Structure 1
Amino acid sequence: MSAKKWDQIELTGKNAIVTGANSGIGLETAKELAKSGVHVVMAVRNEEKGSTARSEILNEHPQATVDVMKLDLADLSSVRAFAKAFADRFRTLDFLINNAGVMTPPYGKTKDGFELQFGSNHLGHFALTGLLLPLLKQTPGARVVTVSSLAHRGAMIDFDNLDGEKGYKAMKFYGQSKLANLLFAKELDLRFKQHGIEAKSIGCHPGVSATNLFKFGKQQTPKWTKVLMDRLLQPADMGALPTLYAATAASLSGGEYIGPEGRGRMRGYPAIDTPHRAANDDTTAEKLWDVSEQLTGVTFHF
């Protein structure tokens, strides 16, 4: 992890959930939080891979406290079960890191019938956040960090084809899901403030990082492509810095969008970024919120 630091809030003894924490940016985020004294719950679909990742963290930081809990964001019953299990064990939630995601898979659906990317990347995290809202409300200084992507630029929410049954293009639907992440992050912070809730919601993106999002299903990234990616793209530990900055920087007030500061916002150390204008559409954000509550059956009780 980079030696470059920023003014951080106090971390020791706090609780965090990191979705998709078994690899890539999620693992690096979990590792750094655990190193800093945060009790980290690795919320993962594959518990065996999660346990391997937990061992990796403990080997590097034996003093860390890390748990693995099952969470499949493509299955709302799993989301509900996870939220209940977490609330049964913990009285506070300082950091909810909505990190997990799928990128450009072939057309598919979640267990509940949603298009896989919109359902996993947005609706699963939307439902998770809503179900954990009581804990967030009662935790002073809680933060929700939702990981978006540069792919939100130029994307739109196609409310008439959210399930992809009228046509599906993998990258277009990935961009839609990442725009939804950012619209949700900003709208959540607005609602926190409207209801006098101390929690903050912050969006971020990792730039362009060499992570295993570039493989899916049985398809693997060709070896030559991976070598090229590793040379041109920033590694996962650098890609995790915007997430960590969003979670821990003392200067943030909520509603910001954090990304790498380098050219094209693709590489470098974290800084406040400016989202595409599509992410500032209040009408779309409100409609997306209402549709998300209807689809998931999860209502936010502020």
Structure 2
Amino acid sequence: MSEKWTTANIPDQRGRVAVVTGANTGLGYETAKALAERGASVVLAVRNVEKGRQAAARMTGDVTVQALDLTSLDAIGAASAELRDRFDRIDLLINNAGVMYTPKQTTRDGFEMQFGTNHLGHFALTGLLLDRMLPVPGSRVVTVSSAGHRIRAAIHFDDLQWERSYNRVAAYGQSKLANLMFTYELQRRLAAHGTTAAMAAHPGVSSTELVRYTPAALRLPLTWLARTTQTAAMGALPTLRAATDPAALGGQYYGPGGRLEVKGHPRLVTSSPASYEVAVQQRLWSVSEALTGVTFPVAGSAVMK
């Protein structure tokens, strides 16, 4: 495999349907744009439909827009139903949208905003669309995590919604750790089907709008660091490689290949030891199903309560 993997390495995507969440700006925009340029029929699944249409107008190829609000289970259900009506098959689901370091607030269903959007919203969306993917050989679910999954990160089962106290950095870390645990447990459940695979990716430090909620003490250095490392287009490459590289395997995690995974061309990387704890993955899955009311059409092993 080339150490300088770029969009030029993306195979022909004609005939494939790709749904990309949060695709009107930043990493999602660059991911969707690259897939469309290689021939995929791309759906920009976004909260702001008008901004989605403006983004679609700047892309080349078959690009459409789907309203999707990941902060509402009702909205996720409605969007999933519309996508299921539109498409008999989905080849790629890119769970890219997210929020970072938000002030304490909740989704419409009462979930802590970062955990509810980044993890539970994508968990529900994936579960509701998965039967459109299972019959499709080579279909993939790619969930975007972050190096933040290593920072003050744990799954706080005793206070998942941060009702007793709130730390925006730790809450973000929990949501991004959950993204990885979801990926690994999903892949375990998908393995028996042999058609669909689950992967994860992270963008390193990229210049995107995510920094808008960064605490004041971190905002300037992080913004400077992002602007001096790599663009959103470079940050999207790990996601694109996980989604399209024929050599990529289910359960793998891709990130920048440079020092400390801050920047560089995408390569296979390793997530934190905590992310591989199977019992915690299974417990998180069980809790996520209970919170969202979404049950996946793939069976798992015995789940630890």
Identical amino acids, percent of aligned pairs: 48
SS in 1 for 2:15: coil
1:178 aligns with 2:180: no
Where do 1:236-275 residues align within 5 Å? 236-275=232-271
Residues of 2 paired with 1:238 and 1:293: CA distance?
A: 34
Question: Among 34, 42, 46, which residue is 2:36 paired with?
Answer: 34
Contact 2:7 2:237 (8 Å CA) reproduced? no
- Counterpart-to-counterpart distance in 1, 2:84 and 2:6: 35
Corresponding residue of 1:51: 53
Matched AA of 2:73: L
Aligned pair in 2 of structure 1 residues 252, 293: CA closer, same or farther (>3 Å)? Answer: same
Deviation at 1:189, TM superposition (A): 0.7
Distance 1:156 1:70, change over 3 A: same
Q: Do structure 1's residue 92 and structure 2's residue 89 form an aligned pair?
A: yes
Please say if residues 7 and 251 of structure 1, whose CA atoms lie closer than 8 Å, have aligned partners that are also in contact: no
Is the alpha carbon distance of 1:229 and 1:56 closer, same or farther for their aligned partners in structure 2, counting shifts above 3 Å? farther
Question: How much has 1:139 moved relative to structure 2?
Answer: 1.4
| 1:198-217 equivalences in 2 (<5 Å) | 198-216=195-213
**Which ranges of 4 or more aligned residues in structure 1 deviate by more than 4 Å?**
5-10, 224-227
Partner of 2:124: 127
Which residue number in structure 1 is paired with residue 162 of structure 2?
164
Contact 2:181 2:275 in 1 (8 A): yes
Q: How many residues align?
A: 292
Give ranges in structure 2 of 5+ residues lacking alignment.
299-305
* CA shift for structure 1 position 101: 0.1
Residue pair 1:185, 1:203 contacting (<8 A) in 2 also? yes
Matching residue's letter, 2:24: N
TM-score (norm 1): 0.92
Report the CA distance shift for 1:227/1:153 in structure 2 as closer, same or farther (over 3 A): closer
Deviation, 1:43, is 0.2
Alpha carbons 2:6, 2:237 under 8 Å: kept: no
| CA 48–216 in structure 1, closer or farther in 2 if over 3 Å, else same | farther
Let me know the Cα RMSD of the aligned residues.
Answer: 1.9
**Residues 4 and 89 of structure 1: is their aligned pair in 2 closer, same or farther, counting only changes over 3 Å?**
closer
Please tell me whether the aligned partners of residues 145 and 180 of structure 2 are also in contact (alpha carbons under 8 angstroms): yes
TM-score by length of 2: 0.91
